[in-house]
Structure 1
Amino acid sequence: MKVKEVKLVTHHVFFILLADAVRTQVNPEMCRYPLGMTGGQIQDEDISASSQWSESTAARFGRLDFDNGDGDGAWCPGITSETDGLKEYLQVDLRSLHFITLVGTQGRHADGMGNEFAQRYRINYSRDGSNWAGWHDRKGRQVIEGNRNAYDVVLKDLEPPIIARFVRFLPVTDHSMIVCMRVELYGCEWLDGLMSYSIPDGHQMIFRGLDVYFNDSVYDGATAERLTRGLGQLTDGTWGLDDFLHSHIYSMWPGYDYVGWNNKSFPKGYVEMIFEFDHVRNFTSMKVHCNNMYSRGVRMFRQATCYFRSGPDWEADPVTFRPTADRVSQIARFVTVPLGDRTASSIKCRFHFSDLWMLFSEVAFQSGSAVYNTSRKKGQPTNLLPGDDPTHKVDDSNTRILIGCLVAIIAILLTIIVIILWRQVWQKMLEKASRRMLDDELTARLAVQTQAFSSHHSSSSSDGDSTSNSTYERIFPLCADYQEPSRLIRKLPEFAQSTEHLEKTDKALANGGLEGAPHYAEADIISLQESSDSSTYSITAVNINLFAGTDSSMKEFPRHKLTFKEKLGEGQFGEVHLCEAEGMLDFLDEDLSIEGNNESPLLVAVKTLREDANKNARNDFLKEIRIMSRLRDPNIVRLLAVCVDTDPLCMITEYMENGDLNQFLCNLRLMEAAAEDRTEPEEKEEKSMVCSRKLIRMAAQIASGMKYLSSLNFVHRDLATRNCLVGKNYTIKIADFGMSRNLYRGDYYRIQGRAVLPIRWMSWESILLGKFTMASDVWAFGVTLWEILTLCEEQPYSQLSDEQVIENTGEFFRDQGKQVYLPKPACCPDKVYNDLMLSCWRRNAKQRPSFQEIHTQLMESLA
């Protein structure tokens, strides 16, 4: 039985690794690197424009966060764009095909003297410089909402992403306005080299009275009866679910993720596709993602026959492949078609039906550049393989890479099998172990946890730099008696209590009966404990009987009155949207004090649960609604209404007009810097004092909200300026949207396979022991206070890498005077820093102040 388990796990791991190998070809979630407008990798000669306002606002100055020294630092067209004309553009040549997933724009402020920006714009793109296409989202909208001021950088996800070499930004605005733009493109190189594919247009299925459309709705070429000279859903980096009626994309029609055809429309029994590439390549394989829901008449293809062309004619000898038929599993999967290292610039493949329907959602090619002599000697046979033809010079580097990958996969699988077998033996030993053995087990667990921290660098940093070092210099020279923090933890005075608690936790987890501490807004997007079977991050249980009983009656808000504005973020089971709610103020109870007026829609945050979410996710979502409906505090974001009558489930919360506190303080810093040169020295000192009082008043509001949460035994676990919203008159309310926003990806450290953690805000015991308590929230408040008083000028511990931040927690643990504290902000009073901020970072959690004490101290400092 155990051997069968091992084989089953091995197969699962193999398919996961195979899927990862395919996804590394193009992964929209990871393919988000700046392409060089800001960093200078894109040269000035590759940036052009239709016109320019002046020499100082030429195209070469249209780089994000760039200043040319004259205070301009932006591209401004000579003639203002008109809504219908769209004649003015800024063009970027990337020199090669790139997969572009994100764009950023900024206006021109000229050190406070300018105020020109593009409120809206469009994007045109081309792969060859002659055929141009206009980007539109998955619902057909072409205009992108741009900047609201001249300072802020606005990032917009391109859904769907585009594959292009040339990209044009076309500002769309009122003809009376002057517009200026600074831009950046984010993505990665398009390794496929695929320029276009030609396929028959998809068909429509009628399934139990439901219309299911399998057309390629984002295709950017000619869309006649046959799609030609373009790319679309087969190259967008995402693939369909097992059930083709559901989609990865919210609110799209059934069948959206797939392009599919009915066998009855093809008398020859196959669908023919033609793929055109940028140059002659040496093709190793083709990976096709197929649906296999045979219970509904859908199966993966029976046979693929591929022809190759490097010149004017197709070669006579094709490659034929028959995949193994699967009549057991209805899971959609990638089918790898080996192409035998054939050399070509075009490939024509015929996919034969094995049932009534055939559905594809993604096609990817593995290839390398090849030097190919297109001339063929007279009388030379045309059916030679590339290896037999002396005019073919094939680069076999891809074969070597493939062999290396296979060897690595086999090694990983063997390691996993050894670990599984060792774990089974280990579990048997635990059943008979004494208290000493339990102690050793905890030590081993913490050692593994520390090793995971030290070996996995964050996948992205705040400046978008994707590089990481496998080794790094430690903060301090190591003493001769140095030991890893995990080996020292069990010597702490409180370790005996921790051991007893963890022993109970493990037993409870084994029985499936432990319920973690309630956490404010405990959504799947924000949750730090992603699986119930992981005890690495066990949280001290607190009393949650406060919320037992019947759910509070939240009103059902009409869905049609919600207008989508922007996607703030997404997680494994849902998304967060910024929406306008029409008539919300009339809908609410009289006891709800919400900023806004009845004349305009109210800005709200709408958190949705995916329709295909499992039962546990739905229960967690409803539990969060129950918990949030009972929160009543002026400094806590309120749950306003719900939409739970039909899927997708939605909860509607406040979202103040001034956005999150982090961006608000950044804008405040920029405005003060612009006005600093015009202020007398005496006025500067007085203004600094006023600024300090305003900032401390903001912090006092956060402390007040946390005092309320702590009175209910709530643990926030992610307190930071990014999770605080700003309203009118500097009103601050605590929320938890930060983790779901792409803007703050660099604030989180990813542990592969587990969670993302805001380590720069976390206490040492949260990082090393996985303990999240009110005292760890106090630590995070100290970091948040530091953010506020520095106007969010830089990230906490910005001079340290993520690994060094984790190692610094080891210094807090050892408490030998080597730990690094955040420095005193320039405008922070000594008493606030010494008596309050530093007390939040005391090693002993019991010696840290409560939020009641913090709030009192802050109010006294304002007296």
Structure 2
Amino acid sequence: NILVHKKIKVFVLCLDFIYIYIYAKKGIKALLFFFLTGVCRSPLGMSRGQILDEDISASSQWSDSTAAKYGRLDCEEGDGAWCPEIAGEPDNMNEFLQIDLRSLHFITLVGTQGRHAGGIGNEFAQTYKIKYSRDGSRWISWRNRQGKEVIEGNRNAYDIVLKDMEPPIIARFVRFMPVIDHSMNVCMRVELYGCEWLDGLVSYNSPLGQQMTLSGQHIYLNDSVYDGAMSYSMTEGLGQLTDGMCGLDDFTHSHVYNVWPGYDYVGWTNESFLNGYVEIMFEFDRTRNFTTMKVHCNNMFSHRVKTFQKVVCYFRSELDWEATPISFSPVMDDVNPSARFVTVSLYNHMASAIKCQYYFSDIWMIQRRCPNCFIMAQSSYNGDDPTHKVDDSNTRILIGCLVAIIFILVVIIVIILWRQVWQKMLEKVSRRMLDDELTASLSIQSETFTYNNNNSPSSVSSEQESNSTYERIFPLGPDYQEPSRLVRKLPEFSQTSEDTGEIQNVQEGVPHYAEADIVNLQGVTGGNTYAVPALTMDLLSGKDVAVDEFPRKLLTFKEKLGEGQFGEVHLCEAEGMQDFMDEDFSFDVIENQTVLVAVKMLRADANKNARNDFLKEIKIMSRLKDPNIIRLLAVCMSSDPLCMITEYMENGDLNQFLSRHEPEGMIALLSNAPIVSYSNLHHMASQIASGMKYLSSLNFVHRDLATRNCLVGKNYTIKIADFGMSRNLYSGDYYRIQGRAVLPIRWMSWESILLGKFTTSSDVWAFGVTLWEMLTFCKEQPYSQLSDEQVIENTGEFFRDQRRQIYLPQPPMCPDPIYKLMLSCWNRNTKERPSFQEIHHTLLDCKP
């Protein structure tokens, strides 16, 4: 539920602000780093254009239309991406796309994409490296926490691949360097994510971390991600002491990374320091006013590890170090072995660098997150002379603002939670009332049926029962057909029983199949493909699959259309598909040209029931032959994963197609948008009605008719499909009712929602909603002004039939006869809804 996610985000954000506020009161800004690593993930401006063209450069380019400025993520300008001029040896690392951010930024995430260019391009970087610089002169190769430089990139030209920078980097200049092996051309589109680095720390110098041996185990307490020079000491760089992470109480374990023992800390032994202390110097971008230093230290005294005994800090305000340092001695703790922060007051010293000497209190001293420990109460700079006057008015204003924000957020959370509880109470009461009415109504009209000698039903209902407002569809009613009449409509059973000998046991006197005799196919994508009469399923199950095996090697993956519990749907290109098409199959394809197809793939670990349903679905689909129904073309059954290959139309689904277009009129002229005329809409609606007329003639119930399940081809050709439920794009169109399946309630009839009854009449209801979608150009969801719960409550109004139900409004460009047709599709009484044959005939009569 999107609303629930929003509530969670607000709550977490509130906690973060409280965390910052508590430490801000003490003058401690270091914990802001924790906040940054969690939320500092905003795009820095490649895709949105905040980063200017002149700040994007490259080592080379194919042409002017693939220059560096076209390397923006999710943009299709120029020829669609930056493409280097490939030259040199394999694994060439001389090519790069460089971004100048104009100031230091904290970068936590990067995104890459290949060159798609609307299907024309197919170039991407499978792997790449990143280099960065803070000053533009010294370039540093990024490595992950395991020391690996190469980053896994893209596997196709259109998907965006995001990679966390673990560890994050602080840089002004960033270079993306594709690893080129000459087996394929390379193009890239990129984005950086993070935020501006305002803390001012540009480097720290420190002795190298050392190795401890503990019970035969080697504990490496080195700064493994330091990006400066490393020889006998570490200089001019940043590393683990600035990554914002606190170490665990037990330094022999690491946080969440698959790394070596001791990774969380940097540590030293007093045996290596004759003067008894470790000296670390911190360089800042300019003179700042410091109030507090906060150092995270380990204190596992059982392993001879303790916090520092004393710290002495010197300050450099201009070029010279001040003669008088400050000194601080924390209270030693030999009882609690937990790691802790040690807070040191810096007494508002003005400085551009700080040098601190940490004195040993035991054999080992292990620290973490010393860096961002220098807390700036206020940065002041007046000409050449820094002022030492501390003005904390801004701090008080900041604290006041944070308190106000926290208070407002808490009030909002309380209101949201209260509304949610109140809404659930009302929903329970409403649902109970509806259930009571439904139970009472059903009990009032309950009837006992007996069959006389000629198998005709007789009713023993009372006068009161016959006047019930709830009308039951009887098994022998006109909504259902005789089995013998049904099988004659199936293509392979069009012959007489005398010719085939397969349906000789069907007798006119046998009761017709009822609603309970419906077989629901689960489908690999999680939804019912069609609800099929049990008799039909029994007859079909004895038949072999009338479709050919297709060679897998002739399928080329293009895009994942969707996925479900048991499988996936992929968009693929198929070679040589013309050889697998029937003579009666019209497909406008040039010989030897690849064809776009949809491939339903069953996962290898699918259970037995899913495999059986998949085979049944193939049998059903192989017998559906109508110009407005998606056709099964071929299968891949020789090995796992089992696949069925169906048509796919080049213009995608009708929902997305219409949402990209506008109706004829002034808006389309002003926006220069592509248009779809009313006559074209009418033509497409007639095709949907024709396809559904074919399905209903076989008593096949679709159960999910909507524009998302209609595909668009050339010349506004429409074919009905069934992928909608599997696509994340349409997850908001489905609602999970407690204890039941995910259902498209905004397209469902009242009896389908309340009674779980799916018939051709409920498909007629969905057709009316689909027609409404088309005439609104899919600009909004049906009943967009109602929540999912209110939609369900509205079906209760249809059941009660007290003229309080809400109908979808007449779209602006919808003629009165067409809206009258919609309303007839939404008739409460299923028997009074038109058949698809009548709908198709009406649409032909109303042709503009």
The two structures have a TM-score, normalised by structure 1, of 0.51
1:276 Cα deviation after fit: 10
Partners of 1:92 and 1:485 in 2: CA distance: 63
Aligned to 2:342: 391
Q: 1:578 to 1:313 in 2, by over 3 A?
A: farther
Whether the 8 Å contact between 2:573 and 2:595 is mirrored in structure 1 is yes
**Aligned with residue 760 of structure 2, among 760, 766, 774:** 774
Distance 1:739 1:815, change over 3 A: same
Per-residue CA shift, 1:97-136, capped at 9, x if unaligned? 76899999999xxxxxxx99998666979799865589x9
Give the aligned residue type for 1:620. Answer: D
Which digits, 9 at most, give the CA deviation of each residue in 1:596-642, with x for residues without a partner? 22232111111111111121111111111111111111100001000
Q: Deviations over 1:341-390 (max 9, x none)?
A: x977999xxxxxxxxxxxxxxxxxxxxxxxx9997788987987454867
Letter of the aligned partner of 2:523 in structure 1? A
Would the alpha carbon gap of residues 96 and 778 (structure 1) be closer, same or farther in structure 2, given more than 3 Å must change? farther
Q: Where does residue 525 of structure 2 map in the other structure?
A: 525
Percent identity, aligned pairs only, is: 45
Deviations 1:526-564 (A, max 9, x none): 32599xxxxxxx999775345242223321111111111
Contact 2:569–2:598 (8 Å) recurs in 1: yes
2:439 pairs, out of 477, 490, 493, with 490
CA distance in 2, matches of 1:755, 1:786: 25
Question: Which whole-Å CA distance do the structure 2 matches of 1:383 and 1:743 have between them?
Answer: 58
| Superposition map of 1:693-704 within 5 A | 693-704=679-690
The alignment status of 1:145 with 2:146, answered yes or no, reads: no
CA contact (8 A) 2:298 2:338 kept: no
The structure-2 alpha-carbon separation of the partners of 1:305 and 1:771, relative to structure 1 and needing over 3 Å to count, comes to: same
| Distance in 2 (alpha carbons) for counterparts of 1:861 and 1:96 | 63
Structure 1 residue 664, shift from structure 2 partner: 1.2
> Does residue 552 of structure 1 match 2:545?
yes
Q: What residue is the counterpart of 1:854 in the other structure?
A: 839
Cα displacement (A) at 1:754: 4.9
User: Aligned partner of 2:637: which letter?
Assistant: V
Cα contact 1:574–1:609 (8 A) shared by 2: yes
- Residues 762-812 of structure 1 deviation map (CA, whole Å, 9 limit, x = unaligned): 122222222222121111111110111111111212222222222222222
Any idea what SS the aligned residue of 2:677 has? helix
Paired residues of 1:128 and 1:165 also in contact (CA < 8 A): no
Q: How far does the alpha carbon of each residue in 1:416-452 deviate from its partner, in whole angstroms, 9 at most, with x for none?
A: xxxxxxxxxxxxxxxxxxxxxxxxxxxxxxxxxxxxx
Partner amino acid, structure 2, of 1:755: A
SS at match of 2:561: strand
**Residue type of the alignment partner of 1:485:** L
Counterpart residue type for residue 145 of structure 1: A
The 2-side partners of 1:104 and 1:809 are apart by 48
Partners of 2:47 and 2:72 within 8 A in 1:
no
Change (3 A) 1:850 1:491: farther
Q: Secondary structure at the match of 1:490?
A: helix
Match of 2:97 among 87, 111, 119: 87
| 2:777 aligned residue (769, 780, 791) | 791
Q: Specify the alignment match of 1:840 in structure 2.
A: 825
Which structure has the higher relative contact order (CA within 8 Å, separation 6+)? 1
The answer to whether the 8 A contact 2:651-2:714 is kept is: yes
**CA pair 664-229 structure 1, distance change in 2 beyond 3 A:** farther
Residue 725 of structure 1 aligns to a residue in which SS? Answer: strand
- Distance across 2 between alignment mates of 1:646 and 1:774: 37
Q: 1:779 to 1:696 in 2, by over 3 A?
A: same
Correspondence 1:638 to 2:589? no
Query: 1:460-498, CA deviations, whole angstroms, 9 ceiling, x for partnerless residues?
Result: xxxxxxx999639989x99x9996322222233598569
Please state whether the residue corresponding to 2:596 is helix, strand or coil. strand
Aligned residue for 2:614? Answer: 621
Matched-pair contact (CA < 8 Å) for 2:686–2:840? yes
Does the CA-based 8 Å contact 2:114-2:124 persist in structure 1? Answer: no
Tell me the secondary structure at the aligned position of residue 684 of structure 2: helix
Which residue number corresponds to residue 597 of structure 1? Answer: 590
Q: 1:142 to 1:616 in 2, by over 3 A?
A: same
2:703 aligns with 717
Partner of 1:803: 789
Distance 2:809 2:130 in 1: 50
The 2-side partners of 1:721 and 1:103 are apart by: 30
Alignment check: 8 A CA contact 2:551 2:636 kept? yes
Query: In angstroms, what is the RMSD of aligned CA positions?
Result: 6.1
The question of 1:821 aligning with 2:831 is answered no
Structure 2 residue ranges without an equivalent (≥5): 1-38, 58-67, 86-94, 134-139, 180-186, 195-223, 227-238, 272-294, 301-306, 312-327, 345-415, 450-471, 476-514
Amino acid corresponding to residue 565 of structure 2 in structure 1:
Q
Q: Aligned partners of 2:55, 2:837: CA distance in 1, in Å?
A: 60
The amino acid of 1:841's aligned partner reads W
Change beyond 3 A, Cα 1:527–1:170: farther
Corresponding residue for 2:278?
none
1:575 pairs with 2:568? yes
Instruction: Summarize the alignment of residues 15-54 of structure 1 with structure 2, pairs less than 5 Å apart.
Output: 51=55
Please give the secondary structure, in 1, of the residue aligned with 2:611: helix
- Paired position in structure 1 for 2:647: 654
Question: What is the Cα deviation at residue 35 of structure 1?
Answer: 7.0
Matched, 1:280 2:273: no
1:127, 1:163 within 8 Å by CA — same for their partners in 2?
A: no
Q: Structure 2 CA distance, aligned partners of 1:649 and 1:541?
A: 24
Offset of residue 862 of structure 1:
0.7
Aligned 1:538-549 pairs, distance under 5 A: 544-549=537-542
Contact 1:707–1:852 (CA<8 Å) still a contact in 2?
yes
C-alpha spacing 1:540/1:731, structure 2 compared with 1 (3 Å): closer
Mapped partners of 1:713, 1:282: distance in 2: 66
Question: Quick one: which amino acid aligns to residue 624 of structure 2?
Answer: L
Length-normalised TM-score, structure 2: 0.52
Say if 1:381 and 1:125 are closer, same or farther in 2 by CA, change over 3 A.
farther
Q: 1:487 to 1:628 in 2, by over 3 A?
A: same
Give the aligned partner of residue 420 of structure 2. 471
Taking a change above 3 Å as real, the CA distance of residues 140 and 52 of structure 1, as seen in their structure-2 partners, is closer
TM-superposition CA deviations, 1:802-827 (whole Å, max 9, x none):
22222222222232222221111111
1:748 aligns with 2:734: yes
Structure 1 residues 785, 765: CA separation in 2 closer, same or farther (over 3 Å shift)? same
Contact 1:283 1:343 in 2 (8 A): no
**Partner Cα distance (2:732, 2:835) in 1:** 29
With over 3 angstroms needed to count, the CA separation of the structure-2 counterparts of 1:723 and 1:127, relative to structure 1, is: farther
Compared CA separation, residues 627 and 309, structure 1 to 2 (3 A): closer
Residues 177-236 of structure 1, C-alpha deviation per residue, up to 9 Å, x if partnerless? xx99998999xxxxxxxxxxxxxxxxxxxxxxxxxxxxxxxxxxxxxxxxx869xxxxxx
Conserved? CA contact 1:280–1:344, under 8 Å: no
Deviation at 1:284, TM superposition (A): 8.8
Amino acid at match of 1:550: K
**What residue is the counterpart of 1:192 in the other structure?**
none
Which amino acid letter does the alignment assign opposite residue 843 of structure 2? L
CA distance in 2, matches of 1:103, 1:391: 45
Q: CA deviation at 1:44?
A: 8.7
Taking the aligned partners of 2:699 and 2:566, their CA distance within structure 1 comes to 26
> Hey, what's the Cα distance between the residues in 2 that align with 1:94 and 1:483?
60
| Distance in 2 (alpha carbons) for counterparts of 1:102 and 1:386 | 45
1:309–1:346 Cα contact (<8 Å) kept: no
2:713 is matched with which residue? Answer: 727
Q: For 1:469 and 1:90, locate their aligned partners in 2 and report how far apart those are by CA, in whole Å.
A: 48
The alignment status of 1:312 with 2:238, answered yes or no, reads no
- The residue identity in structure 2 corresponding to 1:697 is H
The residue type paired with residue 733 of structure 1 is: K
Shift of residue 145, structure 1, vs aligned partner: 2.6
Secondary structure of the residue that 2:661 maps to in structure 1? helix
Residue identity opposite 2:784 in structure 1: S
Q: Secondary structure at the match of 2:244?
A: strand
- Residues 634-662 of structure 1: per-residue CA shift (max 9 Å, x gap): 10000100011111111111001111111
